[in-house]
Copies of this chain bind each other. A is one copy, B any other.
Amino acid sequence: MPMKRAVVLVSGGLDSATTLAICNRDGFEPCALSFDYGQRHKIELQAAKRVAASLGVREHRTAQIDLRIFGGSALTDEIPVPKVRDEKNTSDIPITYVPARNTIFLSYALAWCEVLGAADIFLGVNAVDYSGYPDCRPAFIAAFEDLAGLATKAGVEGTRFRIHAPLLEMSKAQIIQKGLELGVDFSLTHSCYDPAADLIACGTCDSCRIRLEGFHEAGQEDPIPYATG
């Protein structure tokens, strides 16, 4: 019997790498889905490819989505990250917050599930995220599962879609520990919001800081090089 397939959202970061490893552990054949939607995509998407390949993913698709068409001036108040990689380029657009982002991401994942005949979606949101973003909360995830059942032919025919968010209650340190336990090579992942021209992580932006604190708390060494620190 072939393995059940699952769609896994893979960004190239720590969290989605661990989520992908958990999907493997849980006995699914992961189909990786990445999104090309903004400033950091080149680096992130390269990391996503490396991570997916290293964890044995055979199907990896990248969806081009351009949410910048909606403009962003109304969103700047919500930018949690002070650094923007390319300041020439639509500086109003927040680098980590995109309106309704997870709704859009999960919609694409659902579309691919329907094509694959899959019922499972893995998403690497975690406690750090859901303290800040409404579309990372358990209630949002449950509502999307309900919607998925109503939105699709498979759902109407009885498929119960499941959104797996295995990191939801985990700290960054716990995510790192779990990833290492499952064989994730974190040297392949990318987290920095503001890498230097040689793509070396800055070590000082919010994302680098959270990552470094996570490794420190986990009692592990971060295998990627940093420009500072």
Give A contacts to B, CB under 8 Å: 61-67, 69-72, 74-75, 78, 98-104, 107-108, 110-112, 114-117, 134-135, 137, 139-140, 143-144, 146-148, 150-153, 155-156
Number of copies: 2
User: In the bound complex, how far is the Cα of B114 from the Cα of A104, in angstroms?
Assistant: 13
Query: Closest CB of chain B to A96's CB: distance in Å?
Result: 14
Closest to A138 in B: B150
Q: Which chain B positions have C-beta within 8 A of A110?
A: 99-100, 103
Q: Which of B62, B104, B139 contacts A107 (CB 8 A)?
A: B104
User: In the bound complex, how far is the Cα of B222 from the Cα of A184, in angstroms?
Assistant: 62
Which 6 A-B pairs give the minimum distances between C-beta atoms? A99-B114, A100-B111, A99-B111, A104-B107, A140-B150, A100-B110
User: In the bound complex, how far is the Cα of B121 from the Cα of A100, in angstroms?
Assistant: 14
Q: Which chain B positions have C-beta within 8 A of A112?
A: 70, 99
Contact B151 A140 (CB under 8 A): yes
Q: A69-B61, A69-B63, A112-B70 are in contact. Are A99 and B143 (CB under 8 A)?
A: no
User: In the bound complex, how far is the Cα of B108 from the Cα of A98, in angstroms?
Assistant: 11
Q: Which chain B positions have C-beta within 8 A of A66?
A: 63-64
User: In the bound complex, how far is the Cα of B144 from the Cα of A75, in angstroms?
Assistant: 22
User: In the bound complex, how far is the Cα of B64 from the Cα of A67, in angstroms?
Assistant: 9
Besides the known contacts A101-B111, A103-B107, A135-B150, 13 further A-B residue pairs in the complex with CB atoms under 8 A apart: A74-B114, A98-B111, A99-B111, A99-B112, A99-B115, A100-B152, A103-B147, A103-B148, A104-B104, A104-B108, A137-B150, A140-B147, A140-B150
